[in-house]
């Protein structure tokens, strides 16, 4: 089954909307969402990402520069049968409300035997 990387970048809520009760409800909703995916055996990775994001860009001359990246807060690797299914799953993530989720399909570039050792595909 195809695997997808979801990068969650929530918009920052206004200070008055970031009450402890609201943040607690949001965290609880994410845990419930993730538990449902775990029960369906769809999640291979779930991680909280450091709030600071760096991005390295290279110009046409090969010079690299570090610039501010998107404020990604969570990332997931999730299995889904196709792109429509993963877009539905991504759209249901409560952490990016409001916010955005980048969805990227992962491809295995390892030899089949090595891929099986790390959980991608079968040997």
- 37 versus 26: the higher-pLDDT residue is 37
Asked if residue 50 belongs to a domain, the reply is yes
Average pLDDT over residues 83-112: 85
Please write the tens of the pLDDT for every residue from 1-33.
Answer: 899 999 888 776 545 556 777 778 878 888 899
Inform me whether the pLDDT recorded for 97 exceeds 50.
Answer: yes
Asked if residue 41 belongs to a domain, the reply is yes
pLDDT at 22: 75
The pTM assigned to this predicted structure is 0.69
CA distance to 14, 53, 81, 85, 87, per residue, from 38 (Å) = 31, 27, 16, 16, 17
The total number of structural domains that make up the chain: 1
Listing DSSP states for 61-108 in one string gives TS-EEEEE-----EEEEEE-SSHHHHHHHHHT-GGGSSEEEEEEEE--
pLDDT at 123: 41
Domain that holds residue 83: 3-108
């Amino acid at each position: 089954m195809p695997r997808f990387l979801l990068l969650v970048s929530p918009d920052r809520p206004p200070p008055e909307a970031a009450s402890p009760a609201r943040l607690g409800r949001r965290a609880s909703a994410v845990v419930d969402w993730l538990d449902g995916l775990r029960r369906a055996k769809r999640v291979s990775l779930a991680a909280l990402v450091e709030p600071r994001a760096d991005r390295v860009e290279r110009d046409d001359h090969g010079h690299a520069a570090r610039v501010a990246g998107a404020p990604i807060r969570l990332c997931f690797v999730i299995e889904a049968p196709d792109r429509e299914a993963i877009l539905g799953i991504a759209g249901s993530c409560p952490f990016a409300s409001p916010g955005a989720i980048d969805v990227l399909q992962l491809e295995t570039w390892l030899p089949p035997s090595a891929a099986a050792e790390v959980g991608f595909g079968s040997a």
